Chain A
């Protein structure tokens, strides 16, 4: 499939490279192409409805946390376990470097096929998954490593054992600990951000969302069933509930929307990773400049401001 955005992106990349390696001033040409790219994106994505984005966010081919980790952090080392008897595969965690800086990475992990999905419980963590995530957050705090979390889950697993072992408590504990964790936290929603199960690794200093990802308190189907007693009104709920990256940016909940490649992130994972990397790096770099008090006050204010007027 012809992808004009990808085409222009590649031309831009070549121009920038030429300008840099040969030391020629191509700034006019580059500006021209950037404007063209901007117009193209506006035309193509401007017409996308929230429901179209829900479909993209749920596309089984959509890149998962490990797909991004592979490309963004080639030196990633995965680490395991909650130290209380479990290693929840719906959460991946480990250490790596970002531009030479040690970072801790934690993310929901869906499967890329049925077999993987069985093993990963479709990316829906049990309480142990949240406790595993917390262990690595505490470790990151101890060693002054910024934390990057990838959010990609339909929600925390709604099971009998999960309730018995304290799903509520595990999520609540993470919100509580992340509240004053003394290291920068950047979260990126890469697919579906499902409610408390997403927030359980998502209390952060900067919230980024890929352009076609969603973040919601309930699925559009669930909202439609609950509010209008008709799950078929999901399409309408996807609009009313304001769950897209663009809507949430408008509400002041999301700090930056990350551009996706034409047709969605799954069309070119490597290109998508290269679009994400500079945004991620910039936010981490800004946050590591901040002092402890500034960082933690900023985090508290971020959540305080969402629902309040003029504070």
Chain B
């Protein structure tokens, strides 16, 4: 997280004057990048993006309601998975706490929805839940949503936001990289479109599996995306990394992404892409 907050400002804040009064919590929201104090209501109307370009994290519900046709989202039921496969101490209590705090079952929400009438399957990770880490639930929820899309011949759009593997599920977590990749390969072989939409942060086992397997891999501005952690790399190569290292913009320059898309354009971009990939030209 720190790496992202330290990134140099790329845009001049348009509004530099901070409100004088100390607003009650909830009414105002401070931008961690430019420190501007926003009226939360206004910020929400602005896709939760600051004028300085900072994209506030979204919950899965916020993302879905911002993206899909009103009332079109039908949530898939959660998968039947082993709750605590390693018997890890205190793990189930931690899950219960996150469930209560976030109101969601696990770190991903999947379902069927439409954009301008075009149906698709959408999976949205939610980093508030165990930092969006992937265990059996997340892996299997995504894999089964993708299998469903294959069966119904629908495109898949997947928003990643994850610190990587769920430590408390050990190797069961690692194997979800294979589980999800297999489901995506079957979807791919059926000739269907998969768009991976990387948001802050997408790292470790999630970046090294489904996040990078889209026909299109696109990202939100400023998102931290990488395989290894910044500190581990600095320790390994014994040099300081540039501030923008592993940002979406950095990866775009390195040829690792198709595009970096401002949240304001998210819906129109996906609408265009789903339409453009809706079936090619019939050749004789």
In the complex, chain B residues whose CB is within 8 Å of the CB of A157 = 236
Q: At the interface, is chain B mostly helix, strand, loop or mixed?
A: helix
Chain A nearest Cβ from B140, distance in angstroms: 5
Q: Is B33 an interface residue, CB under 8 A from the partner?
A: no
In the complex, chain B residues whose CB is within 8 Å of the CB of A150 = none
Q: What is the interface of chain B, defined by CB distance below 8 A to chain A?
A: 79-82, 85-86, 88-89, 135-137, 139-140, 143, 165, 167-179, 181-186, 188-189, 204-205, 207-213, 225-229, 232-233, 236-237, 239, 241, 245-246, 254-256
Q: What is the interface of chain A, defined by CB distance below 8 A to chain B?
A: 156-160, 162-169, 171-173, 175-177, 179-180, 195-196, 199-200, 203, 215-218, 223, 226-227, 240-243, 248, 251, 253, 299-300, 303-304, 306-311
Q: Which residue of A lies closest to B189 (CB)?
A: A180
In the complex, chain B residues whose CB is within 8 Å of the CB of A311 = 80
In the complex, chain B residues whose CB is within 8 Å of the CB of A217 = 165, 167, 170-171, 173-174, 205
In the complex, chain A residues whose CB is within 8 Å of the CB of B186 = 179-180, 300
CB–CB B167/A303 < 8 A? no
CB–CB B171/A310 < 8 A? no
Q: A158-B232, A172-B208, A242-B86 are in contact. Are A163 and B171 (CB under 8 A)?
A: no
Given contacts A163-B245, A195-B165, A199-B175, could you give 17 more A-B pairs where the C-beta distance is less than 8 Å? Answer: A158-B227, A158-B229, A159-B233, A162-B227, A166-B255, A172-B212, A175-B208, A180-B189, A196-B205, A199-B174, A216-B174, A223-B167, A242-B86, A303-B178, A303-B179, A307-B82, A308-B82
Q: Which residue of B lies closest to A165 (CB)?
A: B254
- Name 6 interchain pairs, CB-CB below 8 A, sorted by A: A157-B236, A168-B208, A168-B256, A179-B186, A253-B171, A306-B179
The 10 residue pairs across chains A and B that have the minimum distance between CB atoms = A307-B136, A158-B228, A175-B181, A179-B185, A172-B212, A179-B182, A168-B207, A171-B208, A167-B227, A303-B179
Q: A203-B181, A218-B165 are in contact. Are A172 and B82 (CB under 8 A)?
A: no
In the complex, chain A residues whose CB is within 8 Å of the CB of B140 = 304, 307-308
Give which listed residue, A164, A172, A243, contacts B170 with CB less than 8 A.
A243
Q: Which residue of A lies closest to B235 (CB)?
A: A158
Chain B nearest Cβ from A14, distance in angstroms: 40
In the complex, chain A residues whose CB is within 8 Å of the CB of B208 = 156, 167-168, 171-172, 175, 196, 200
Chain A nearest Cβ from B38, distance in angstroms: 33
In the complex, chain A residues whose CB is within 8 Å of the CB of B165 = 195, 217-218
In the complex, chain A residues whose CB is within 8 Å of the CB of B255 = 166
CB–CB A168/B227 < 8 A? yes
